Amino acid sequence: MLIDSHCHLDFEELNKDLELVVQRALKLDVAVLQTICTQISKFKLIYEVAEKYSNIYCSVGNHPLYLKEEGVTDCASILEFCRLSKVIGIGETGLDYYHTDFDKLSQKKSFIEHIKASQACGLPIIIHTRSADDDTLGILREQMQEKSFTGVIHCFTASRGLANACIDMGLYISASGILTFRNATDIQQTFKELPEDRIIIETDAPFLAPSPFRGKVNEPSYLTHTALFLANLRSKSFQEIAKITTDNFFRLFTKVGR
């Protein structure tokens, strides 16, 4: 069994054929999906998807690049959604300095409010970080000193130093289809060496389809390609990697029953 820990089933590319997308995933034993919230204003649709299927769960949060539309949602407001039975994570949240049109202060405030919600309710935080290693690490360390929390760096593309620091804090690291890209040698080396009890996998569908589907619309069924690549990278069998990443998912997202 595989688990797609991070996909976006509310996005039109997947939502228009959702039943077929889910069935194709199940056919390849991608048995559990987490559809990720990027805008709290659109949470209703995300939760409707999760409620419709017994094997789909969701998160709640605002992506840093949507803060112009969403504003900074406070911890108390995030916690209201966390009480819902299908909400298993908080995010995605974090820092994205890659694009020139961003507000660092709003991103930092939003990130901290999401972390405080995680600290308050115990749900893991789903972290997006791009071109922001130092500030991401600084906020994580500062908040961890106030009260411990858990979570995952999703779609990991950052430095090995950030990966090591996050693992030292008890966080997990998630591999996406980027791992399979020919030019992703640094990321491949990181995932070759990470402790196996801290690795989970994702598609980030509809984005970042793995080879041999690179450039096409991604979907949860393609997770098998990332899992197989990771297995070969770490000299494991496909079945071993499936078990490792599945066990790690359930260890992190404890609200999901096995």
Largest CA distance in the chain: 45
Give the chain's radius of gyration (CA, Å).
17
Q: Does residue 221 contact residue 30 with C-beta atoms inside 8 Å?
A: yes
- The gap between the terminal CA atoms of the chain, to the nearest Å, is 12
Instruction: Tell me if 6 is assigned to a ligand binding site.
Output: yes
The percentage of the chain sitting over the pLDDT mark of 70, rounded to a whole number, equals 100
Q: Which of 93-107, 136-150, 236-250 has the lowest mean pLDDT?
A: 93-107
Rounded-to-integer distance, Cα 192 and Cα 234, Å: 5
pLDDT value of position 11: 97
Strands 87-96, 199-201: pairing kind? unpaired
Asked if residue 225 belongs to a known ligand binding site, the reply is no
User: What is the tens place of the pLDDT at every residue in 54-68?
Assistant: 999 999 999 999 999
Note the pLDDT of residue 27.
Answer: 98
Average pLDDT, rounded, for the chain: 97
DSSP string across 188-208: HHHHHHS-GGGEEE---TTS-
Q: What number of other Cβ atoms are within 10 A of residue 181's Cβ? A: 16
pTM metric for this prediction? 0.97
State residue 100's pLDDT score: 72
Give tens-digit pLDDT for 164-190. 999 999 999 999 999 999 999 999 999
Structural domains in the chain? 2-252 (3.20.20.140)
**128 is an annotated ligand-binding site residue:** yes
135 assigned ligand-binding residue: no
Q: Which residues contact 87 (CB under 8 A, 6 or more apart)?
A: 47, 57, 58, 59, 60, 81, 123, 255
186-202 per-position pLDDT tens digit: 999 999 999 999 999 99
Predicted confidence (pLDDT) at residue 248 exceeds the cutoff of 80: yes
Q: Are strands 30-35 and 151-153 parallel, antiparallel or unpaired?
A: unpaired
Average pLDDT over residues 95-117: 93
8 a known binding residue? yes
CA of residue 212 relative to chain centroid, distance: 22
